[in-house]
Structure 1
Amino acid sequence: MKIGVFGGTFDPVHNGHINAFAETYIGLELDKVIIVPTFISPFKKKTGSTDRHRLNMLKRAVKNYDFAEIDTFELDQQTVTYTFDTLKYLKEKYPDDELYFIIGTDHFITFDKWANADKLHDLAKFVVLDRNDELYNVKAPFIKLNTNIVEVSSTLIRERLKTNTEVRHLMHEEVYGYIKEQRLYET
């Protein structure tokens, strides 16, 4: 099988996230996509909502995508988890399958700073989603995928929610309902 791996903070999950993994699923003719919410990103401070809330929002956002599943490996670690550790875990879980780790150009340009960057290509193929045909020199062993990217930012959504500005159009309606019900990001 060809399995996509899509990680992130998803705080909150939005249409840009969904579009990215769905377009990769289509563009690479994947068999499924595993979505891995991180506990704490090595490149970000912990902000926003709790792990439980992020997971609940993610479940609502992907429930209608039969090719998508959520793996809580990184949340279960309760510490910073590096892509290398996650891919080792997934490679053990799916030893006979091809893993395709999905990243944006923002992560591509910092790839050499990732933990064990020199060993990551042994575990998975890295797919770089090209946002608006940016001029990055993406070449083997990376796979460049030109796709229709929906530009949305979790940071923008959190900021708008604090000021009670409309965001409903940027996410799945059940995610929006959950955020309102739980009063997330209000302060």
Structure 2
Amino acid sequence: MKIGIFGGTFDPVHNGHVNAFVESYIGLNLDKIIIIPTFISPLKTDARTNNTHRLKMLKTAVEDYDFVTIDTYELDQHHVTYTFDTLTYLKEKYPEDDLYFIIGTDHFLAFDQWSRSDELHELATFVVLDRDDKLYEVTAPFIKLSTNIVEVSSSLIRQRLKSNTEVRHLMHENVYGYIKEQRLYET
């Protein structure tokens, strides 16, 4: 089986994330997508919404996609978990399957900062979603996937919610409803 893996804070999950999941599923001819929300991202220092809320929003955003599952491995660790540890866990869980770890250009360009980056390619094939940015070149052992990218950022959504600016068009309507119901990102 070919399994695509996405990690991230998803704070909040938005249409750009869901588009990336679906386009990767199609473009790589995957059998399954596994989303792994982080407890704390090693390369991000900004505040995050609590895990219960992020997980609920993520489940809501992908509930209609039967090829998408969520694995709470990193959330369950209750500390910073590095991609090497997560991929080791997934390799043990899916020993016969091909793992494709899908990243954006921002993570690709910072890949040398990842813990044990030189060993990661032994655990999975790394796929870079092409945002049509001509400032970089993706070379082996990375794979470049040219696809339709919806440019949205969680930080923009948080900023707009804080200033009470419209964001409904950027996310699943039930995720937006949950954010408003729980009064997330207001301060």
Which letter maps to 2:13?
V
After TM superposition, the structure 1 stretch with the greater mean CA deviation from structure 2, 114-123 or 44-53, is: 44-53
1:41 partner SS: coil
> Are 1:145 and 2:145 an aligned pair?
yes
Instruction: State the alpha-carbon separation in 2 of the partners of residues 49 and 142 from structure 1.
Output: 32
1:128 partner SS: strand
Conserved 8 A contact 1:57-1:175: yes
Give the Å deviation of 1:8.
0.3
Instruction: State the alpha-carbon separation in 1 of the partners of residues 42 and 102 from structure 2.
Output: 17
Conserved 8 A contact 1:133-1:146: no
Give the Å deviation of 1:111.
0.6
Instruction: State the alpha-carbon separation in 1 of the partners of residues 70 and 14 from structure 2.
Output: 15
Q: Deviations over 1:80-123 (max 9, x none)?
A: 00000000000000000000000011011111111011110000
Which letter maps to 1:121?
H
Instruction: State the alpha-carbon separation in 2 of the partners of residues 134 and 60 from structure 1.
Output: 34
2:66 partner SS: coil
TM-score, scaled to structure 1: 0.98
Question: What residue number does 1:45 align with?
Answer: 45
Instruction: State the alpha-carbon separation in 2 of the partners of residues 135 and 29 from structure 1.
Output: 27
Q: Let me know the Cα RMSD of the aligned residues.
A: 0.8
**In percent, how many aligned pairs have the same letter?**
75
Q: Deviations over 1:152-173 (max 9, x none)?
A: 0100000100111000000000
Give the Å deviation of 1:133.
4.2
1:40 partner SS: coil
Give the Å deviation of 1:134.
3.1
Which letter maps to 2:166?
E
Q: Deviations over 1:1-54 (max 9, x none)?
A: 000000000000000100111100000000000000000000112513100000
Conserved 8 A contact 1:48-1:185: no
Question: What residue number does 2:23 align with?
Answer: 23
TM-score, scaled to structure 2: 0.98
Name stretches of at least 5 consecutive residues in structure 2 with no aligned partner: none
Which letter maps to 1:165?
T
Question: What residue number does 2:59 align with?
Answer: 59
